[in-house]
Structure 1
Amino acid sequence: MANIHRNRGCSLSQCCLHILVFLIGFLVVSLPSSFVIIQRGKQHFKKPDIKYEETQEQRIEKEFNKIYEDFSQWNLTLCSHASYHRGRHQKVISISVYGKESKFIDNQMYSWTTTILPFFELLVSEMNQLLPQWILRVYIDFTGSTKSQRKHFYKFSNVDICDMNNIPMFGSSLRKFLPGRIWRFLPIFDPYVDYLLSHDLDSPITQRETETIKMWLSKKQEKNFFYIARDHIEHSSFILGGLWGASLIRARHTLVNIFKPMLIPSIVQNYHGNGDQKFLNDYVKDHVRSHSLIFDSYFCDMLGGQPFLSQRPIDGCYLGCIRPCCNNTKNVHFRERRIPCPIECRPKDHLDWIYC
């Protein structure tokens, strides 16, 4: 009996040994795969490495800073030494001037022998009468002019000549890539300018225009750092190249950032000819829409805006018209078909202003 129990004990020990060997083998085989599963689980919850694309504003800012490293240090006017000596807080009306001989010509009306000087003198006279506190800045290419014509531009006390071959901090570099019609936008970067109005050389300044400007300058309009006027059936763009204004004193940093693309050659070179208007609508419109005082005679419902404060003095004398359009008792040069302006674009107490 003793031998029988002894044999059973031995068999039991062998069984235990077999079980132990099996368990060790199982662990050796299964643990690595379990470890892999755990690792895979950890990998599954790893934070994804996402690369975000730059916005258009970020790309513009990066490109601008690459070209103009010392932009924040600029402390001169973007015109001339004469404009610098006028001091800060300037109110500026800005125009571009260039003749047929200039490579920037896109308007055959501009000729040194016929139109440039007469248009210029009339504009200066109108400013003296209607906006005496403002300075006319002339961003000009004198190519094709005579010595006496060049001297004539410097005779007026309310005029600053900005020679595009000698702009402070830029020299002649801007002339190489900046489209002619966009020269007049340069005061937007000028630390000495508080208010800027972009204007056309061949368009008169009228009381109907200046009364809207005075309203824009008032304290009630402080939230509106932009001014827009549209006064013709063909004025269907949100911003017209020669009928807008900017209040730098109200939003200088914002306005500078908005207009930075115009100083990036790879961008602005796509806007030659009549491209100034397209540039404004591509890069400026969406940023100023809700901060603009707008006057409109035909598209106030579609584009936004309010009626003008007074009626046109004569047919064809609209803001932005080409001379001679406002200097006759009856405009004998007006040949367009008269189109009534929508009721929505007329003052509520002057619905009888059929043609605004």
Structure 2
Amino acid sequence: MPCRKRVVFITYVIISIVFLLNLYYKQNKASPRVRYQPYLKSPVTNFENKKSETVSTLLENISGMAPTNVNKISKMKTQRFFDIVKRNSHIMNYLERLEEVYDDLFYKIYPVSVGVPETPTETAKAIETENETVNIDHDSSTGVKEEDGGLSVTSYSLPGCNCSRKLGRNKQDKKYVVLRRYSAEHHMAMSRTVQMISSCSDHATARGPKQKVVSYSYFGNTSDVGLYNRYFSEMRNRALEIHRHYPGFVMRVYHNVGPEDEKGQREICQAFCDIPLLDFCDVSALPSPWFDFGDQQKVGTLWRFLTLLDPLVDATLFRDLDSYVLPREAAAVEEWLRSNSSYHVMRDHPLHNGQILAGLWGSQTHLDRANAYHYGALMLSQPYHDLWDYDQRLLRRILWPQIRNRTMVHDSYTCRAKLFQGQGPARPFPTRREGRNYTGYGKTKSGVTKLLKTCPVACRPKSHKDWLLC
């Protein structure tokens, strides 16, 4: 082997070994607390944990692994080597693919095991005929049912709450919906008959069809101060922002706050009484067919994806409780909702280099309901893995290959990245960045605003090439 090729080969081998060892260490050697629920210590330090998962910053971490007693010249040489690596697009692309191979090798995708099972179309037709005569009444609630013309008005409350909400359902509403799609796996048309029942609660069911929802997950005990301050205490703020920027939307929080968490239960009750647009979905007591779903699927970040399988939801956004809802985000979502794109993805920071960021995407489920249900069920069927970004890995492996050509992508930094080849054309955000904010920004993420840089000219709006922070 010529000397030059030998050097290149050895370089790739060394980088691969160190990169995979670093991944393995972060995923298997970190404490379970940090892997399952990141960002619990100091705001900046824990965001650095998240930041380090990107390829470029992994290299920065690797280059800083040298012992502290190494002389400055050695450290400078090491840093220079990794700077060269980061500037080499071939090596960077190689490392990006390497992480995907790592996932494919160690994490098998299991078939759908939750929700309503699919059947071949011929069988489904018989089920459809049979269900036409079935009267499905799921208004079992803690309150009194009244008759108001064509509406069935019911009072809803939460256990232990001293308030209630009244909602009316049209007695003529459809009782079920038949979802049909072509299954490449079975090489035939498949169908599932889904009852028109919310995946959240009886109260959410009473809101009726065509709901627009911003979906969140919360898991843990509010006695944990870090968890409470970063996530739970932000629910009211998110509800106010949704009311301001997303008129007509409902906020849902899928949670596991049980009776033993008295503080959490008390604040959930108060928020239910004070904020009409806020729905709480207790994953230990969801409607059929989910029931105690928190026991079946223990990865809390995945619970919010249940809105994909909700036949009463027409559009859903997936967000993180520690992220502000900014006007910049709302403008991008409005542009997407006016389109015929079934899915939406936003990337608004140099570190937003994943295909789908778990807290910055959405689906117009009414445009692709059968597939949205199926791929949502497929993600929710996967077994527990103690990885902080497990939801994002599943989005990349399961959902992204199926939707990338039907997705509107707003991207301010990686609009031409080779990693995203094959997706629909990325477009710039419709509004100019305010200060150093970005979609997904929150009060505990100020430590990474300094990483915002001049965005590529190709990612700026055609009429505003002067927007340096586009």
Structure-1-length-normalised TM-score: 0.72
Give the counterpart letter for 2:333 in structure 1: I
Do the aligned partners of residues 109 and 239 (structure 1) sit closer, same or farther apart at CA in structure 2, a change above 3 Å counting? Answer: farther
2:462 is aligned with 1:348: yes
2:343 is aligned with 1:226: yes
In the other structure, the counterpart of 2:281 is 162
Higher gyration radius (CA): 1
Q: Deviations over 1:154-192 (max 9, x none)?
A: 121001110111111122134332410011110100010
The CA distance in 1 between the partners of 2:337 and 2:452, in whole Å, is 32
Is the 2:194–2:311 contact (alpha carbons within 8 Å) kept by the matching residues of 1? no
The CA distance in 1 between the partners of 2:285 and 2:115, in whole Å, is 23
Match of 2:316, SS state, is strand
In the other structure, the counterpart of 2:372 is 255
Match of 1:120, SS state, is helix
Do the aligned partners of residues 271 and 249 (structure 1) sit closer, same or farther apart at CA in structure 2, a change above 3 Å counting? Answer: farther
The CA distance in 1 between the partners of 2:207 and 2:286, in whole Å, is 16
The CA distance in 2 between the partners of 1:239 and 1:344, in whole Å, is 21
Give the counterpart letter for 1:313 in structure 2: E
Structure 1 unaligned spans of 5+: 1-57, 326-330
Match of 2:209, SS state, is coil
The CA distance in 1 between the partners of 2:430 and 2:262, in whole Å, is 40
The CA distance in 2 between the partners of 1:259 and 1:271, in whole Å, is 20
Greater shift, 66-75 or 195-204, is seen at 66-75
Match of 1:197, SS state, is strand
In the other structure, the counterpart of 2:74 is none
Residues matched between the structures, number:
280
Shift of 1:318: 0.3
Shift of 1:92: 0.3
Q: Deviations over 1:258-291 (max 9, x none)?
A: 2221232xx2423753211011001000111000
Determine which of 150, 170, 174 is the counterpart of 2:268.
150
Greater shift, 268-277 or 239-248, is seen at 268-277
Greater shift, 71-80 or 248-257, is seen at 71-80
Structure-2-length-normalised TM-score: 0.55
In the other structure, the counterpart of 1:34 is none
Is the 2:218–2:232 contact (alpha carbons within 8 Å) kept by the matching residues of 1? no
| Pairs within 5 Å for 1:263-302 | 263-264=380-381, 267-270=382-385, 272-302=387-417
Q: Percent identity?
A: 26
Q: Deviations over 1:103-152 (max 9, x none)?
A: xx9xx8422xx344431111111111111200001101114352422312
In the other structure, the counterpart of 1:139 is 254
Higher strand share: 2
The CA distance in 2 between the partners of 1:117 and 1:166, in whole Å, is 20
Match of 1:269, SS state, is coil
In the other structure, the counterpart of 2:302 is 182
| Pairs within 5 Å for 1:188-207 | 188-207=308-327
The CA distance in 2 between the partners of 1:271 and 1:117, in whole Å, is 22
Pairwise CA RMSD: 2.7
In the other structure, the counterpart of 1:313 is 434
Give the counterpart letter for 1:152 in structure 2: Q
Is the 1:312–1:318 contact (alpha carbons within 8 Å) kept by the matching residues of 2? yes
| Pairs within 5 Å for 1:37-76 | 60=111, 72-76=193-197
